[in-house]
C-alpha cells in the first residue's frame, strides 16, 4: 500500500464521515464539492474534509483507492458511498438519511426534509 493509500485508509477509519473534495467544507473549490458539502453542512453532519487540491498525490490517490474517477467522494464508516450525483440522488430519495441513521451518524432530520421539499 502506498503512503497515500495508507493515509486515506487511516482518515476514513478515524472519522465516521469523510468527504474528499476540491477545497474545504467552508470554502469548496468546485460546484460538485460545494453541493455535497452544502448538503452535509445543512444537515449538520459532522465530517472530516480532505482538500485534494492541496496534495496532488491525494488527488490521484483517492481515485485509485476507490476506483472512482471523480471528486468529491463521500465515505461513511469506512465505506465508499459515492460522488455528487449519487449523494444527490440518495439525499432526495431519503437513502442518505437511512445510511447515516444505520451508522449512528447524527444529522438534522428536519433539515433533510427541508432539502427534499425544496427539491421535490
Could you list the residues known to form a binding site for [2Fe-2S] cluster, using ranges.
30
Contact status, residue 48 vs residue 11, Cβ threshold 8 Å: yes
The cell for 65 is: 483507492
Answer for the pair 27, 34: CB distance below 8 angstroms, yes or no: no
Name the region of 44 (left: φ>0; alpha: ψ -120 to 50; beta: rest).
left
Sign (positive or negative) of CA dihedral 71, 76, 79, 85: negative
What HEC string does 75-103 produce?
A: EECCEEEECHHHHHHHHHHCHHHHHHHHC
**Which residue positions form the known binding site?**
30
Amino acid at each position: 500500500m502506498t503512503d497515500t493509500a495508507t493515509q486515506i485508509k487511516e482518515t476514513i477509519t478515524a472519522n465516521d464521515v469523510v468527504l474528499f473534495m476540491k477545497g474545504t467544507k467552508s470554502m469548496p473549490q468546485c460546484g460538485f464539492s460545494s453541493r455535497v458539502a452544502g448538503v452535509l453542512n445543512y444537515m449538520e453532519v459532522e465530517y472530516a474534509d480532505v482538500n485534494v487540491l492541496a496534495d496532488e498525490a491525494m488527488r490521484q490517490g483517492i481515485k485509485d483507492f476507490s476506483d472512482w474517477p471523480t471528486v468529491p467522494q463521500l465515505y461513511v464508516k469506512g465505506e465508499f458511498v459515492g460522488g455528487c450525483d449519487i449523494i444527490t440522488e440518495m439525499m432526495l430519495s431519503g437513502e442518505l438519511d437511512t445510511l447515516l441513521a444505520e451508522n449512528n451518524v447524527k444529522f438534522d432530520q428536519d433539515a433533510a426534509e427541508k432539502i427534499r421539499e425544496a427539491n421535490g
